[in-house]
Amino acid sequence: MQEKPLILVTNDDGITAPGIRALIKIMNKIGDVVVVAPDSPQSGMGHAITVDNVLTCNPITIDEGPQLEYTCSGTPSDCVKMAVSEILNKKPDLCVSGINHGSNSSINVIYSGTMSAAIEAGIEGIPAIGFSLLDFKWQADFRECEDFVKNITLNTLLNGLPEGIVLNVNIPSVKKEELKEFLEDRELEDLFENEEILLTAGGSAIFDLVAQHLKPQLHLPTRGILRSGCYLTHDHVQYRKMLKCVGERLQLTETLRPALEVISSVQSCPEPGLALLTMGKRDVSYDMDLPVAIWRANMGDQGVSGVPSHWEITALNDQHAYLKFNPAASVSEQPHVGQLIGSGISHPCTTFDKWRWMPIVDDHYAVMSAVSIRF
């Protein structure tokens, strides 16, 4: 018989909060559950940990069920640390945090104990998800969350998450039938101007999951449109990782390819193992990851070639990138002054906003056209 996944459950509202009780019931249907959660509300604690006080952790039984539960006197991050280092005899397959009473979006993520627990699990190398319901009431109705939480959890267990990625899921406090009734009422009142109804939603990195819910059954024809922030180009780091998961879910042999590169040249090699490139924070995004060197070419070459695996861009200043390489490598594997370097980026938005226009090139890097940027 296939072994069940081991799931660690925690939160910041406290072990008796309705949100975590609902989450435990859902997780019990999926795997073997161990709960380590604060013994009192810890909302707004962020990523704080206990340093000067004694940290206690005690077994407890609150509801009937197969789960093992422990209360912790510390913060949500303490709970994850205690679970990994003291309670569990192996690393869990997944950590879920929540279900939080209220939104954890925008700047709230910085203060959120719910998300800090999930991030702490991510730091430990554990796939992690933070769940929140957009309802601050203590007796909020979590029944409408169940399908979303269950499906997202199963997808994550099946496909995993890219390294360094933690999911933050905020679920609207609305029943599915209420949304459908809202659309049906607007249709009966003849409030739609066009004969076709357009339903749009974001979904840059998980568009296959979002698209499933963009075709409500109405009398008028409907068309779902993904309002993706990266509809022109994905990138070579973050979105490439997420698209790999999309491809695995859809069993695709190929997904979208990154199409935005920044070309610089080697300006100097001031010391062994270091080259300075003519590209910096004014030219390329750096808020999520640093650029990745992907190809090189000499002036006059008819094509490009890949870079050695030991090449790595490790830092940026305003106008330069620091390219580290193995100084003991052969001369042919070392960059040299004047060499062109093509770099992939992470997070297209913060590269687009640095340029007034960009050239469009073909597969041989011949300039075919240009686009103006109004970001």
Which domains are seen in the chain, by residue range?
6-171 (3.40.1210.10), 176-226 (no CATH), 261-372 (2.40.37.20)
CB 291 within 8 A of CB 276: no
Question: How many other C-beta atoms can be found within 10 angstroms of the C-beta atom of residue 203?
Answer: 17
Q: pLDDT (tens digit, 0 to 9) for every residue of the chain, 375 residues total? A: 568 999 999 999 999 999 999 999 999 999 999 999 999 999 888 999 999 889 999 999 998 899 999 999 999 999 999 999 999 999 999 999 999 999 998 888 999 999 999 999 999 999 999 999 998 888 899 988 898 899 899 988 987 887 788 999 998 887 777 777 887 888 788 888 888 888 887 766 677 777 777 777 778 888 888 776 666 787 888 778 778 878 888 888 888 888 899 999 999 999 999 999 999 999 999 988 899 999 999 988 888 999 999 999 999 999 999 999 999 999 999 999 999 999 999 888 889 889 999 999 998 899 999 999 887
The contacts found for 156-161 with CB under 8 angstroms, 24 or more apart, are 156/94, 156/127, 156/129, 157/5, 157/30, 157/31, 157/93, 157/94, 157/127, 158/249, 159/245, 159/248, 159/249, 160/127, 160/245, 161/127, 161/128, 161/245
In eight-state DSSP terms, residue 143 is G
Cis? peptide before 99, omega within 30° of 0: yes
CB 79 within 8 A of CB 116: no
Query: Going by DSSP bridges, is the β-strand pair 340-344/292-297 parallel, antiparallel, or unpaired?
Result: antiparallel
Amino acid identity of residue 317, one-letter, is: N
Provide the Cα torsion 136, 138, 142, 148; round to 10°: 40
pTM of the model: 0.69
CB 355 within 8 A of CB 284: no
Q: Could you give the count of Cα atoms lying within 13 Å of 345 in the half-sphere of its Cβ?
A: 25
Q: Could you give the count of Cα atoms lying within 13 Å of 324 in the half-sphere of its Cβ?
A: 7
Residue count (the chain): 375
